[in-house]
Amino acid sequence: MTKHLNTLVLTLTLLCATASTAWSQTTLSRADYIQKYKSLALQEMDIYGIPASIKLAQAIHESDNGNSRLAREGNNHFGIKCKSDWKGATIAHTDDAPDECFRKYASVEDSYRDHSEFLDKSSRYQNLFQLDPTDYKGWAKGLQQDGYATNPQYAERLIKIIEENQLFLLDEGKDLIAQTQDTTTKEEPVVPAPKSGRDIIDVDNYSIVIQSHNGGHTVYRNNGSEFVILAEGETLETIASEFRTSSKRLVKYNDLHNASEVKAGDMVYLKPKGRRSANGKLIHVAKEGESLHSISQLYGIRIKQLCNFNRRTRDSQVTDGQQIRLM
């Protein structure tokens, strides 16, 4: 009997040790998580304007570096609960109350995208999008004040994660790997640069960033963002191919409903537009035929912000001589 008992104990011990080893092999460290998902955070920052540092810090905190049950079984890296409008898959998890309903995703990418949409479409977080894109402290404090989490130390924890791991470098366009391996950090160009370099020449209201790109386009800078002029016969798809991006992103960057809305002569932004006028101009006096969308393109300001400044919807009519606020 004693022999059998000892054998059973030994077997259970080995099983526990095996399970423990298997878990430790699949557990992500914080550094592992950052390296694995930083490009995803940067992609979402490009499309939605949410600082990559905030995106990663929230995911790290909410998912325990990707090791929480919600993250492992539901790909939910931001602790987003179902809410009444959620029609997708769900997973039960005890948080503030037993067996609460949380969103379940098919992939981590879906979780990151839904988090961006969640913040972008919720009226309570719109004030955050008016902050400077490198103001991670403002974003952290704003998320807490606007009720993203119930923990009174939520903002403090996000800031601590960001500063301990220097995630703020991502918001500035710097590479974390380069920063840890080399004291000289190089900023990545916003668009592919020609072999001759990125000459900047002032022309009228804009600056030429690239005069002779491989695809033949002149790239201009306006309000901190870069754009090209669509030529006859070109589409968003051809521009996307030339600049190694997607037409879906260009639709988002240019506040369009779909890729077919553009025509020859239109400005096509290659990166997100600004949130306010950066040249000090406060007011634009509208001319006949203009719209809020055309004004947002002219000044390189996101139409959502332009609508907020003027308390209008994007479909509101603009009349000749009307004053439109730019910040």
CA 264 – CA 217 distance, rounded (Å): 13
Q: 177 falls in which pLDDT band (50, 70, 90)?
A: low
Residues spanned by the domain of 170 = 30-181
Give the model's confidence band at 209: pLDDT under 50 very low, under 70 low, under 90 confident, else very high.
low
3-state secondary structure of 208: strand
Span 218-224, mean pLDDT?
82
Question: Do the beta carbons of residue 88 and residue 102 sit within 8 Å?
Answer: no
Angle at 264 between CA 263 and CA 269, to 5 degrees: 75
248 in any annotated domain: yes
Phi/psi for 134 (5° steps) reads: -100, 5
Of 260 and 70, which is predicted with more confidence? 70
Collapse the DSSP code of 206 into the 3-class scheme (helix H, G, I; strand E, B; otherwise coil) and give the result: strand
Task: Record the pTM.
Answer: 0.54
Examine the domain organization and report whether 151 and 239 are in the same domain.
no
H and E: helices and strands count for the chain: 13, 9
Residues in the chain: 327
* 47-63 confidence digits (pLDDT tens): 788 999 999 999 999 99
293: domain CATH number is 3.10.350
How many C-beta atoms lie closer than 10 Å to residue 50's C-beta? 24
The per-residue pLDDT for range 227-244, each reduced to its tens digit, is: 888 888 899 999 888 888
Q: What CATH number corresponds to the domain at position 98?
A: 1.10.530.10
Q: What is the pLDDT of residue 307?
A: 87
In a domain, 238, yes or no: yes
pLDDT score for 205? 52
- Lowest-confidence pick of 78-82, 161-165, 173-177, 210-214: 210-214
201 has a pLDDT exceeding 50: no
Assigned domain for 233 exists: yes
Angle between the N-to-C axes of helices 136-145 and 52-63, in degrees from 0 to 180, rounded to the nearest 10:
50
Decide if 152 is inside a domain: yes
